[in-house]
Chains A and B, each alone.
Chain A
Amino acid sequence: MSGDRTPGRPGRRPSLTWPPLARPLHPGAWWLWALGLAVAASRTTNPLLLAMILAVAAYVVVRRRGDAPWALSFRMYLALGAFIIVMRVAFRVVFGGGQGDTVLFTLPEIPLPEAAAGIRLFGEVAAEQLLGGFYDGLRLATMVVCVGAANSLADPKRMLKALPGALYEVGASVVVALTVAPQLVESVRRVRRARRLRGAAGKGRRALRGIIIPVLEDALNRSLALAAAMASRGYGRTAGADPRTRLITGVLVIVGLVGVCGGLYGVLDAAAPPLLGAPLLLGGGAVALAGLLVGGRRVRRTGYRPDRWQPAELLTAGAGAATAALMFLTAGVDPENLYPSLSPLSWPELSLVPVLAVLAGLLPAFLTPEPPRSAATPPAAPYTGGATGGPGAGGANRTRPRKEPVP
Chain B
Amino acid sequence: MITFEDVSFRYEEDGPAALAGVDLHIPEGELCLVTGHTGTGKSTLLGAVNGLVPRFTGGHLRGRVTVAGQGTESRPPQEFAHLVGRVGQDPLAGFVTDNVEEELAYGMEQLAVRPEVMRKRVEETLDLLGIAELRGRALRSLSGGQQQRVAIGSVLTTHPSVLVLDEPTSALDPTAAEDVLSAVLRLVHDLGVTVLIAEHRMERVLQYADRLLYLPGDGSVRDGTPAALMPDCAVAPPVVQLGRAAGWSPLPLSVRDARRRAAGLRQRLADLAPGPAHPGDAGPGPAAAGDPHRTPIGEPLLTARSITVTYGATVAVRRVDLRLAAGEVTALMGRNGSGKSSLLWALQGSGPRRAGTVEVAGGDPGDLPAAEARALVGLVPQTAADLLYLQTVDEECAQADAESAVASGSCRELLDELAPGIEGASHPRDLSEGQQLALVLAIQLTAAPRVMLLDEPTRGLDYAAKRRFGAIVRRLAAEGRSVVIATHDVEFVAAVADRVVVMADGETVADGATPDVVCSSPAFAPQVAKVLSPLPWLTPDQVARALTAEGADPAAPLRHEAAPR
CB distance from B325 to the nearest CB of A (A): 23
**CB pair A197 B348 closer than 8 Å:** yes
CB distance from A148 to the nearest CB of B (A): 23
**CB pair B456 A392 closer than 8 Å:** yes
CB distance from A218 to the nearest CB of B (A): 8
**CB pair B115 A397 closer than 8 Å:** no
Give the contacting residue for A235; candidates B85, B96, B136, B345; CB below 8 A. B96
**CB pair A234 B82 closer than 8 Å:** yes
**CB pair B81 A233 closer than 8 Å:** yes
Count of residues in A whose CB is under 8 Å from the partner chain: 77
**CB pair B350 A197 closer than 8 Å:** yes
CB distance from A367 to the nearest CB of B (A): 26
**CB pair B115 A198 closer than 8 Å:** no
Q: Is B122 located at the chain interface by the 8 A CB criterion?
A: yes
Q: Is A116 located at the chain interface by the 8 A CB criterion?
A: no
CB distance from A195 to the nearest CB of B (A): 7
**CB pair A182 B115 closer than 8 Å:** no
Which single residue of chain A is at the shortest CB-CB distance from B56? A228
**CB pair B110 A201 closer than 8 Å:** no
**CB pair A225 B93 closer than 8 Å:** yes
**CB pair B381 A392 closer than 8 Å:** yes
Residues of A within 8 A of B506 (CB): 403
Which single residue of chain B is at the shortest CB-CB distance from A183? B92
B374-395 residues with Cβ-Cβ distance < 8 A to A are 374, 378-383, 385-389
Give the contacting residue for A179; candidates B86, B98, B115, B144; CB below 8 A. B98
Q: Mark A386-399, 1 if CB is under 8 A from B, else 0.
A: 01101110111111
Which single residue of chain A is at the shortest CB-CB distance from B132? A378
**CB pair A392 B383 closer than 8 Å:** yes
**CB pair B111 A234 closer than 8 Å:** yes
**CB pair B337 A400 closer than 8 Å:** yes
Which single residue of chain B is at the shortest CB-CB distance from A227? B56
- Provided the pairs A222-B93, A304-B115, A392-B381 are in contact, do residues A400 and B447 lie with their beta carbons within 8 angstroms? no
Give the contacting residue for A229; candidates B84, B86, B102, B143; CB below 8 A. B86
Residues of A within 8 A of B77 (CB): 228, 231-232
Q: How many angstroms from the CA of A178 to the CA of B342 in the assembled complex? A: 29
**Which one of B80, B102, B382 has the greatest number of beta carbons of chain A within 10 Å?**
B382
Q: Is B60 located at the chain interface by the 8 A CB criterion?
A: no
Residues of B within 8 A of A233 (CB): 81, 96, 106-107, 110, 154-155, 158
Residues of A within 8 A of B459 (CB): 395-396
Q: How many angstroms from the CA of A3 to the CA of B443 in the assembled complex? A: 60
**CB pair B93 A175 closer than 8 Å:** no
Q: Is A382 located at the chain interface by the 8 A CB criterion?
A: yes
Q: How many angstroms from the CA of A301 to the CA of B140 in the assembled complex? A: 26
CB distance from A399 to the nearest CB of B (A): 3
Which single residue of chain B is at the shortest CB-CB distance from A216? B389
**CB pair A214 B110 closer than 8 Å:** no
Q: How many angstroms from the CA of A42 to the CA of B546 in the assembled complex? A: 90
CB distance from B342 to the nearest CB of A (A): 5
CB distance from A393 to the nearest CB of B (A): 8
Give the contacting residue for A237; candidates B110, B383, B385; CB below 8 A. B110
Q: Mark B365-380, 1 if CB is under 8 A from A, else 0.
A: 0000011001000111
Which single residue of chain A is at the shortest CB-CB distance from B78? A237
Which single residue of chain B is at the shortest CB-CB distance from A221? B93
CB distance from A307 to the nearest CB of B (A): 12
Residues of A within 8 A of B352 (CB): 407
Q: Is B173 located at the chain interface by the 8 A CB criterion?
A: yes
**CB pair B93 A229 closer than 8 Å:** yes
A228-276 residues with Cβ-Cβ distance < 8 A to B are 228-238
- Provided the pairs A231-B52, A305-B115, A377-B136 are in contact, do residues A226 and B382 lie with their beta carbons within 8 angstroms? no
Q: Mark A363-386, 1 if CB is under 8 A from B, else 0.
A: 000000000001001111111110
Q: How many angstroms from the CA of A232 to the CA of B86 in the assembled complex? A: 7
**Which one of B78, B145, B399, B459 has the greatest number of beta carbons of chain A within 10 Å?**
B78
- Interface, chain A (partner B; CB < 8 A): 157, 172, 175-176, 178-179, 182-183, 190-191, 193-201, 209-211, 213-214, 217, 221-222, 224-238, 300-306, 374, 377-385, 387-388, 390-392, 394-405, 407
Contacts A214-B386, A233-B158, A399-B142 known; 10 new A-B pairs at CB < 8 A: A197-B387, A197-B444, A214-B388, A300-B112, A301-B110, A302-B112, A304-B102, A392-B455, A401-B337, A407-B351
The 7 closest A-B pairs by CB, nearest first: A392-B382, A234-B81, A229-B94, A304-B105, A399-B144, A234-B110, A199-B371
Q: List 30 A-B contacts (CB under 8 A).
A: A175-B97, A201-B399, A214-B386, A217-B385, A226-B93, A228-B88, A231-B56, A231-B78, A232-B84, A232-B155, A233-B155, A233-B158, A234-B81, A303-B109, A304-B106, A304-B108, A305-B101, A381-B142, A382-B141, A390-B342, A391-B351, A397-B341, A398-B171, A399-B147, A399-B172, A401-B337, A403-B311, A403-B316, A407-B351, A407-B352
